[in-house]
Amino acid sequence: MKKVISIMLVAVMMFTITSSVFAAEEPKAANKQGISSLSMYEQARLFAKERGIELLPFDEGSITSKFKEFATPYDGIDDKPDNKTKDSIEDNLIEPMGGATANSAQRIYVNTSISDSIATAGQIDWFVFKTSTGSGAYNIYSTGSTDTYGELYKKTLSGKYELISSNDDGGSGTNFRLEVGLNSNTDYYVKVRHYSSTRTGSYTLRVEENLDSYYSPSGGSWTWDIASPDPDGVYFNIDKIVYLTPEKAQGYYIMVSQDSIREVRGTIAHLTYSAAVTFVMNYYVIGVVAAEFIVDQIFGFAFPDLTEMELDAIANAGNMNSSGEFQTGIKITSLTSYTTNYVPVMMNTYESWNRSYIYGEERYRGSFDTSDFTPLWR
């Protein structure tokens, strides 16, 4: 896992982009927020290419069987009323609205809901959905007053159905909830029944791409859980997202403008290599080897115009006025990409934030911390 780079000394390139004001009226309203991972990668690629650095291609990745550990494993105990094993799902089940068998399952689309009912005791409903072009974290769950039991299957090459995950009361009340890592552009089958083989009831089924959200007008941070599915492939990641209020954003802007390494970058931009090394030795009171290392990193990744570009991006994202006051909050996304030589490149992107909900990244899973306001790559 590429996260081992966090313990390595690597070159940091602060890549900056801005977008329009981030609309966050309510969580999961459209399951979209900010710009996409692919869009960020494309801008990063163009930025790097102009300076002679070639990034590895963007790969949305494939969630393989290693992510089954995050689902409820099949324990070989067949305690289901229909008495079917994971590799033998027969086609003689009771006909419900949702489809009597996996082969006749009713289609449901990602990020939508569908209402159904278990009208007959022992009834089993089948649904099928195709994942989007992005792999990663998905949620499948029911809502309502019925005590539901849910199972998720994937069709194998042999035509049988393999159990991916199952759950009873993981959702609200007695509803099931499945949180799984799924491949892109793949059909998955959802099997829903009442927990009791003698009961009936109605329910609503929802399938969605995961989008962590938390109401926090004062901001905070979201950090990706590296043990969860990796939606964007091995060589690109959204690592952390920080949300700053206008007041904190103004302080951040001042901090960046006075960052000593940026002062060094600006100073040595037009010096010869030897003069730059001498300046760094004197500035930090260090030896020639350490100074050469710093100069190499600065000349290789920290381009002379980067400071002003970053400051402009921060100011534009926060709608900074002529008095230096920020009119909106800012969202700082810390991400990692790799050059074609597999050198990690850390970047920060900047967007406006409207001070309501804070979000993670779509199809990632992570955690919030409302007391943490520090971007990962500083």
Residues 262, 271: Cα–Cα separation, whole Å: 15
The residues pairing with 350 across neighbouring beta strands, listed in sequence order, are 332
Instruction: Locate the DSSP E strands across the chain.
Output: 106-107, 112-118, 124-130, 136-143, 148-155, 161-167, 177-182, 187-194, 201-209, 213-215, 220-224, 236-244, 329-338, 344-353, 357-359, 366-369
Please provide the average confidence, as pLDDT, over all residues in the chain: 78
Confidence of residue 300 (pLDDT cuts 50, 70, 90): low
The answer to whether residue 285 scores a pLDDT higher than 80 is yes
Domain 65-209, CATH 3.10.310.70 — does that match?
no
Per-residue confidence (pLDDT) for residue 70, from 0 to 100? 32
Q: Where in the chain is the domain with CATH 2.60.120.380?
A: 65-209
Which residues make Cβ contacts (< 8 Å) with residue 103, sequence separation at least 6? Answer: 91
Confidence of residue 99 (pLDDT cuts 50, 70, 90): low
The answer to whether residue 15 scores a pLDDT higher than 50 is no
pTM exceeding 0.95: no
- The per-residue DSSP string of 17-54 comes to ---S----SSTTSSS--SS-HHHHHHHHHHHHHTTT--
- The per-residue DSSP string of 292-356 comes to HHHHHHHHHTS-TTHHHHHHHHHHHHTTB-TTS-BSSEEEEEEEEEEBTT--EEEEEEEEEE-SS
- CB count within 10 Å of CB 4 equals 9
- CB count within 10 Å of CB 100 equals 18
The sign of the CA dihedral 40, 45, 50, 55 is positive
Mean pLDDT in residue range 194-207: 97
What would the pLDDT profile of 57-91 be if each residue is shown by its tens digit? Answer: 765 443 333 333 233 333 332 333 333 333 333 33
Residues 214, 223: Cα–Cα separation, whole Å: 13
